[in-house]
Chains A and B, each alone.
Chain A
Amino acid sequence: MGRGRRTRLSLMPTDFESVELIGGGEEEVSLLDILDHVLNAGVVIHGSLVISLAGVDLVYVGLNVVLTSVETALRSLQVEEKRGPK
């Protein structure tokens, strides 16, 4: 991956650019395709019974950021868990 691409990804966090960075061919299914769909497509649960990160376009800003964001989110979830139910 070249420097230009990394720069563009960080400045312009769009879904297809992140997909394009991973997948080479026009029809190739990449890991990022999978992450994009499992995190961003489907039923979004909201509620105190449910912990959800869905609805946040985590995957759109790239794999490293996804993992960082998930880590951050999980840390905050752990804090919530320690506090107990509201």
Chain B
Amino acid sequence: MSRALVYCGFQHATQLSLPAAGVKAAPVRVLGQGELSLLWSDVEWPFDPARMQRSAVEFHGVVHHVFNQAAVIPFRLLSVFEDEAALKAFAAEHRERFLEDLDRLKHFVQMEFVVYPAPGRAQPDSSSGKAYLEQKAGMTRAIEQHVGNVRDALGELSRQVVVREAKSGHRVFVLVERGKEEIFRETVKSVGVPETLSRRTSGPWPAAEFLSERVKMPQIAGAK
């Protein structure tokens, strides 16, 4: 059984180089819907769990092949359509919204950093519930302070910022003009990390965190 696996959408441009093969060496095909292009492959379904990691890396390779040249809207791995006709119907229905987001994000990439307690630095204070909560609150304040310091340092380099709180730290997504990734890294690096914290930077990634909700979670006609 085969399914249509979609990798990403992007604005049609003749000068873009496109990957030849995708997941499990399946030929990568282009579905054009006006100015919107979607990359997809006919793949055997369901995936073989034993090669899931490899499939993920191959999927990533296809998306980043295009993303290295232009803005893309990535689809999540394991989102598949029944066939090309279903994908085509989806593209026709959502083309305008996708193109609006692509136009809005065409000059930007997503950079990220995460700030979290340094592993092994602070042992949980288990002397009392109050002490534990105070220690936890102190750590949260330290993380928020550091995230604030980095955000201040980034200044106008960050066009938009989304901060997500996780259980023991913060993950920060920053929309940065394409071409300024190195300035981003250097700027973040210039802000010293307190001993009690760790920080990790990654990117550039497609600006998935900054997609509009209606693109991120499109409603499918006839969906359950």
Contacts and interface: CB of A to CB of B under 8 A. Distances in A.
Contact of A44 (B9, B185, B200, B216): B216
B224 A42 contact: no
Interface string A51-86: 111100000000100110011001001100100001
Contacts of A78: 46
Interface residues of B, number: 57
A85 B90 CA distance: 18
A29 B114 CA distance: 13
Contact of B53 (A23, A35, A43, A81): A35
B120 A49 contact: no
B211 interface: yes
B79 A35 contact: no
Nearest to A17: B116
A66 B55 CA distance: 13
B94 to A, nearest CB: 9
A37 B119 contact: no
Contacts of B199: 26
Contact of A71 (B49, B57, B73, B206): B49
Contact of B57 (A34, A48, A67): A34
A8 B168 CA distance: 11
Interface in B38-82: 45-47, 49, 52-53, 56-57, 59-60, 63, 73-82
A20 B129 CA distance: 28
A46 interface: yes
B220 interface: yes
A77 to B, nearest CB: 5
Interface of A: 4-5, 8, 12-17, 19-20, 23, 26-27, 29, 31, 33-35, 37-54, 63, 66-67, 70-71, 74, 77-78, 81, 86
* 4 closest residue pairs by CB, A with B: A47-B223, A47-B220, A16-B114, A42-B74
